[in-house]
Structure 1
Amino acid sequence: MKIVTQVKLMPEADHAAALSLTLRTVNEAANWASAVAFERGVPREYELRKHTYAELRSRGLGAQAAQHTIKKVRDAYTTLKANIKAGNLGKPGSKRRTRAGTKPVLFRPEAAHPYDDRCLSWQYDAQTVSIWTTTGRIRNIPFVCSSDALKLLREHRQGESDLIERDGVFYLVAVCDVPEAEQYEPDGFIGVDLGIAGIATASTGYKAAGRGLNRHRRRQLDLRRKLQAKGTKSAKRRLKNRRRKEQRHAANTNHIIAKTIVTEAERTSAGISLEELKGIRQRVRLRKPWGHLPAGGWGRVALHSWAFAQLGDFIVYKARRAGVPVVFVDPAYTSQQCSECGHTDKKNRAGQAVFTCRNCGVVAHADRNASRNVARKGEAAWTAGRESRVPATP
């Protein structure tokens, strides 16, 4: 299982200038190579290398840096083609899709650049790196990270690492190949219902309320609007400094939620049943005000900028590291079906938070009821999958 680990570099002023110059040089060269690829109909990597390698070397790139630049360009066009085919850039004839397909791919001056072990070496005991730049190799650049990240790097780092610059700060993002734990036979399943008012509600009783995070995000949205309305240099500087703050806050919250759910599943030897995320924004609607989430502008922002996929990915990779089985189920009618008697009726959902069964009269929290239905579906899916692998009796 491949995961990434990020460390922060702490270079001196002259070393920081060299790293910045290197990123700008390789990305300027990548833009030139991208124009060549576009003019020649995006040839294969080997053919593109014949047309660009000598020029890239003359621009000050080392042999490995030139090779990585060519591969980065070719990979960018492969990704663009896949996005167009999947419809991620709009329908045929749309402005966005037309614009993307009628001009070369461009790379930002501070865009990430890959390094392999020939261009980058790690000294874990000293917590330093030695890295190639266009002005020569720089040695003993300190880096900082958590103790867990350092252990992960020391034991499992493998393959390339990307150098990136964010607001004048340099980071290395390293790929680690972590072995998966052996999956155990689950004793039941924990269902997880995803939503807006409650980010994640588990059938065990755990609930990650979305009220605090939504309140934080709304404050950030209001602050951005005020700063954008001012339009002064200081306001733009503050916007730049805060632009990733909400993203980091949400990612940290998702990490905490995922770790809590996986730890509980591992402790009880249970599996985890998750909703299929495809079409979740069509299933979760804001037709009426939901308590602290008014319908309209903010409700739509909360719905369409919610990190559903990120939370699901965090749960899956943490579960795989712990050996916890995970299944995905169709969440259809889980919010309308009674987890006690199985009666399904649209009228059972009395409100956003209240579930009242019209058949047996049970009253429960709507998200808790849905999570129990998700758990039951997960157990049925796991059993069906196990039975399908049992050879038929002759």
Structure 2
Amino acid sequence: MKLVTQVKLLPEADQAAALRSTLRTANEAACWVSAVAFEHGVPREYELRKHTYAELKARGLGAQASQHVIKKVRDAYTTLKANIRAGNLGRPGSKRRVKAESKPITFRPEAAQPYDDRCLSWQLDAGTVSIRATAGRLKGVRFACSSEALKMLREHRQGESDLIERDGGFYLIATCDVPSKPLTERPAGFVGVDLGIANIATTSTGYRVAGRGLNRHRKRQFDLRKKLQAKGTKAAKRLLKKRARREQRHAANVNHIVSKTIVTTAERTGQGIALEDLTGIRSRVRLRKDQRTSLHSWGFAQLASFVEYKAKRAGVPLVYVDPAYTSLQCSQCLHIERKNRVDQATFACRSCGTVTHADDNASRNIARKGEAVWLAGRESRVPAPA
């Protein structure tokens, strides 16, 4: 299983200048390669290399850096094509899709640049790295990270690392290949997880995380950004820059805590986890204007991805289920009716009279669907009788 570990570089002034120059040069070159690729109809990587490799070397990039720039550009177009095919950029002819298809991909000056072991070496005991820049190899660049991250690097680091610049600081994001535990073949059941905005997550085991605190934090950050942007002074702009991504970091921390609790509970009880497949929900749902901010800042995809990788590490089975009617169906008698959902928090079955919290009811329906999906998958893997 591939995971990433982030460390912060602590370069001297001259080392920081060399790293900044390297990123600028590499990303300017990537923009040029992207324009060439777009002009030639985005050829395969080998063909693109024939058009651009010599010029990249002339721009001061080394052999490995040139190869990485070409591969970075080709991978970016592969990702764009996959997003178009999946419908993530809208239907054919939509404004967003036409804009993406009508011009070459560009790269920010501080965008990530990949490094392999030929260009980057780690001295973990000394807490330093040696990294190749356009001005030559920089030795003894110090880095800082947690003890858990250092252990991860020492035991599992494998493959490329990305150098990025963020808010004037430099970071290395290293790829680690962590072995995952074998999956539980016969889970004792499934923990259904209902994801939402009013309640971030509600499980069929009774665990519920209210979204009030996170929503208040987002509202407070939004109002503060609005005031600072309206003020427009240098001090206001400095504060905006200082507070950048604070909301994002806070939401990610909450999602890490919630996902860890869900996976730990499933591992302890020998159960699997069932999540709703909410792909495309933002484009399907129609809301009032004052509700759109909450919907588009909802981090359900990040929470699901955290649960997924933690479950793999713990060997906990995980399945995605169709969310249709999970909020309208009674988990006791399976009766489906729109009037069952009295309001956001209350579920009252018109057939059997069951009254419960709406999210608890939905989570139990998701757990039942999860068991059905898991059994169907097991049966499809059983060989046909001779």
TM-score range, shorter chain: over 0.9
Paired with 1:389 and 1:178, the residues of 2 have a C-alpha distance of 26
Instruction: Say if 1:335 and 1:370, in contact at 8 Å, map to a contact too.
Output: yes
Q: 2:322 aligns with which of 312, 324, 330?
A: 330
Label 1:334 to 1:80 Cα distance change in 2 as closer, same or farther (>3 A). closer
Instruction: Say if 2:278 and 2:323, in contact at 8 Å, map to a contact too.
Output: no
Paired with 2:98 and 2:203, the residues of 1 have a C-alpha distance of 44
Larger mean Cα displacement after TM superposition, 90-99 or 10-19: 90-99
Q: 1:5 is matched by which residue type in structure 2?
A: T
What are the within-5 Å matches in structure 2 for residues 205-216 of structure 1? Answer: 205-216=206-217
Paired with 1:325 and 1:182, the residues of 2 have a C-alpha distance of 9
Q: 2:350 is matched by which residue type in structure 1?
A: R
Q: In angstroms, what is the RMSD of aligned CA positions?
A: 1.8
Paired with 2:336 and 2:90, the residues of 1 have a C-alpha distance of 37
Label 1:280 to 1:44 Cα distance change in 2 as closer, same or farther (>3 A). closer
1:232-270 CA distances to partner (integer Å, 9 max, x unpaired)? 222222222222111111111111100000000001111
1:302 paired to 2:294: yes
The alignment-based identity, stated in percent, is 74
Instruction: Say if 2:113 and 2:164, in contact at 8 Å, map to a contact too.
Output: yes
Q: 1:358 is matched by which residue type in structure 2?
A: R
Paired with 1:232 and 1:79, the residues of 2 have a C-alpha distance of 39
1:201 paired to 2:202: yes
1:291-345 CA distances to partner (integer Å, 9 max, x unpaired)? xxxx642x21111221111111110110010000111111211111222222222
Q: Which residue of 1 aligns with 2:153?
A: 153
How high is the TM-score relative to the length of structure 1? Answer: 0.93
Q: Which residue of 2 aligns with 1:387?
A: 379
State the shift of 1:393 in Å.
4.8
SS at structure 1 position matched to 2:133: coil
What are the within-5 Å matches in structure 2 for residues 104-119 of structure 1? Answer: 104-119=104-119
Larger mean Cα displacement after TM superposition, 11-20 or 227-236: 227-236
| Equivalent residues, number | 385
Larger mean Cα displacement after TM superposition, 81-90 or 269-278: 81-90
Paired with 2:47 and 2:383, the residues of 1 have a C-alpha distance of 50
Q: Which residue of 1 aligns with 2:99?
A: 99
Q: Which residue of 1 aligns with 2:355?
A: 363
How high is the TM-score relative to the length of structure 2? Answer: 0.94
What are the within-5 Å matches in structure 2 for residues 1-394 of structure 1? Answer: 1-184=1-184, 185-281=186-282, 296-297=289-290, 299-393=291-385
Label 1:370 to 1:101 Cα distance change in 2 as closer, same or farther (>3 A). closer
> Any gaps of 5 or more consecutive residues in structure 1?
287-294
State the shift of 1:19 in Å.
0.5
1:75-107 CA distances to partner (integer Å, 9 max, x unpaired)? 222223333333433433344433333332221
Paired with 1:249 and 1:89, the residues of 2 have a C-alpha distance of 28
State the shift of 1:18 in Å.
0.9
Q: 1:62 is matched by which residue type in structure 2?
A: G
Q: 2:140 is matched by which residue type in structure 1?
A: N
Larger mean Cα displacement after TM superposition, 275-284 or 31-40: 275-284
Paired with 2:353 and 2:104, the residues of 1 have a C-alpha distance of 63
Paired with 2:364 and 2:192, the residues of 1 have a C-alpha distance of 6
SS at structure 2 position matched to 1:72: helix
State the shift of 1:65 in Å.
0.8
Label 1:84 to 1:385 Cα distance change in 2 as closer, same or farther (>3 A). closer
Instruction: Say if 1:349 and 1:356, in contact at 8 Å, map to a contact too.
Output: yes
SS at structure 2 position matched to 1:201: strand
Q: 1:319 is matched by which residue type in structure 2?
A: A
Paired with 2:333 and 2:78, the residues of 1 have a C-alpha distance of 51
Which portions of structure 1, spanning 4 or more consecutive aligned residues, are displaced by more than 4 angstroms? 282-286
SS at structure 2 position matched to 1:126: coil
